[in-house]
A and B are shown apart, each in its own frame.
Chain A
């Protein structure tokens, strides 16, 4: 029990501060920490990015691979997101295969990107029904200081937005690379906003110490046109229906701010 006492004392403090709209790090309840995005950091990747929200740091790399299509969508390429929790990112991370936290993170980031239909996967087809591009988007958690989901989503998104894809052609029965590169078939710019519920308040972009005491979190992904494209409640607490509605409203508002940051980072890259 001893390991829970400090967070529980801290929780009281966090809740008391939040009654006057404040947080332990000086932010308001709806503020994000400082966001920095650096793209094109890994030359050998087809696209890459390191995103930071506060001190949380996530690297994302995109790699194209020639593979087989899924039988039910024979003429479309495939995008898949993986997550690796590097042990130096937190004393709680252990070496080994991804645990349920890593699997959930990868799948939440994956859904946000996939369901927005940000990539025109029909353009990733090489030989209809036979060969397509598999787009691996792997996020590496490098430093965990809270809100991994939004940071990983930002890194993955900006890595994809700044990717180029190899051009392939058919020579006889063989798929060959031409050596030329093509622009990514991008159709949308989805962003993910996470809020934590602590006491009866909602905290945008929870810090590490806020995450230690949160009741639960809710993440919502929005398309450019404001439509919702993914949502996930996490951790063992609950939200009332009214809290859900309010959280989504706040998230919708914040999503525009995040998207602006992404656009700025992309323009710098260009």
Chain B
């Protein structure tokens, strides 16, 4: 690509192409219980990224021989709609979608008390309706809300965000434009109260010092996502006042 035709992604006073500061996340809106035929579901709008997640289970494993005697098996299916990106995408799962399904499942599994549901399956279906960067982070964060909506006991919510390097600066929550033109992308999923990193990937080039800084930014970013997830849960479930003891 001819570098001179690329417009600057960060201004001299540290403002990004969509008006955000380097450590500012996009507007994120989570919603629980949006589908009628699942055991649990969630929808997220993360900037222009839009994702629906449905959870089925715990239910009988199909085929049965895949069932695990001592715990539930979790499967995740990350798929992008053919119209979710600039050019038409074949609906058949790409190698990227196969890999992302695997790492998303592995990011959520440590949060779920799988040992409570032996011999069952928990299927997590993720449909990316519009992709504008950080779809795996949005998927994981929304999927953990769908699991909550399904009433599946969990150790903590899994919150996820990415740090990228754009024009030499580390920025939080990369959108598509920054990801494509940027020098690196590093998504992390995290259970804040457990200090547990459940997904960590990186591509692009960063120094060891930048890696250390990124980890700090990711921790802070995940906490912000965590707050929004909790707000969504609180607004979805009615808080029942405890019955007064003096009758």
Interface residues of A (CB under 8 A from B): 1, 4, 72-73, 100-101, 103-104, 106-107, 111, 114-117, 216, 218, 223, 226-245, 248, 252
Contacts and interface: CB of A to CB of B under 8 A. Distances in A.
Nearest to A101: B102
Nearest to B109: A236
B186 interface: yes
A100 B98 contact: yes
B204 A229 contact: yes
Contact of A73 (B1, B102, B194, B203): B1
Given A103-B98, A227-B207, A238-B197, 10 more contacts: A4-B70, A100-B99, A100-B101, A216-B106, A228-B208, A232-B200, A233-B197, A236-B105, A241-B215, A248-B208
Contacts of B206: 227-228
Q: Is the interface of A mostly helix, strand, loop or mixed?
A: mixed
Contacts of B212: 245
A103 B101 CA distance: 11
Nearest to B118: A1
B201 interface: yes
Given A100-B99, A103-B95, A231-B202, A238 B194 contact: yes
B195 interface: yes
Contacts of B198: 233, 238
Give the interface residue-count category, chain B.
35 or more
Nearest to B191: A238
A239 B200 contact: yes
B207 A235 contact: no
B110 interface: yes
B15 interface: no
A1 B70 contact: yes
A241 B70 CA distance: 29
A1 B115 CA distance: 12
B200 A218 contact: yes
B117 interface: no
B126 to A, nearest CB: 15
A233 to B, nearest CB: 4
A229 B203 contact: yes
A231 B210 CA distance: 14
Interface of B: 1, 69-70, 95-96, 98-99, 101-103, 105-106, 109-110, 184, 186, 191, 194-208, 211-212, 215, 219
Question: Which of A103, A111, A114, A235 is the most central at the interface, judged by chain B CB atoms within 10 Å of its CB?
Answer: A103
B207 A226 contact: yes
A228 B183 CA distance: 12
Contacts of A244: 197, 200, 215
Nearest to B95: A103
A231 B186 contact: yes
Contacts of A229: 203-205
B203 to A, nearest CB: 5
Nearest to A252: B208
A183 to B, nearest CB: 24
Nearest to A76: B1
A73 B208 CA distance: 29
B200 A233 contact: yes
Given A231-B186, A240-B196, A116 B205 contact: yes
B204 A238 contact: no
Contacts of A252: 208
Contacts of A101: 102
Contacts of B219: 241
Nearest to A233: B200
Nearest to B111: A238
B187 to A, nearest CB: 10
A255 to B, nearest CB: 11
Nearest to A108: B99
B215 A245 contact: yes
Nearest to B200: A233
Given A100-B101, A228-B211, A238-B194, A115 B110 contact: no
B102 A231 contact: no
16 contacts: A100-B102, A101-B102, A104-B98, A106-B95, A107-B95, A115-B184, A227-B207, A228-B202, A230-B202, A231-B186, A231-B201, A233-B201, A238-B110, A244-B200, A244-B215, A252-B208
A228 B205 contact: yes
B119 to A, nearest CB: 11
B221 to A, nearest CB: 13
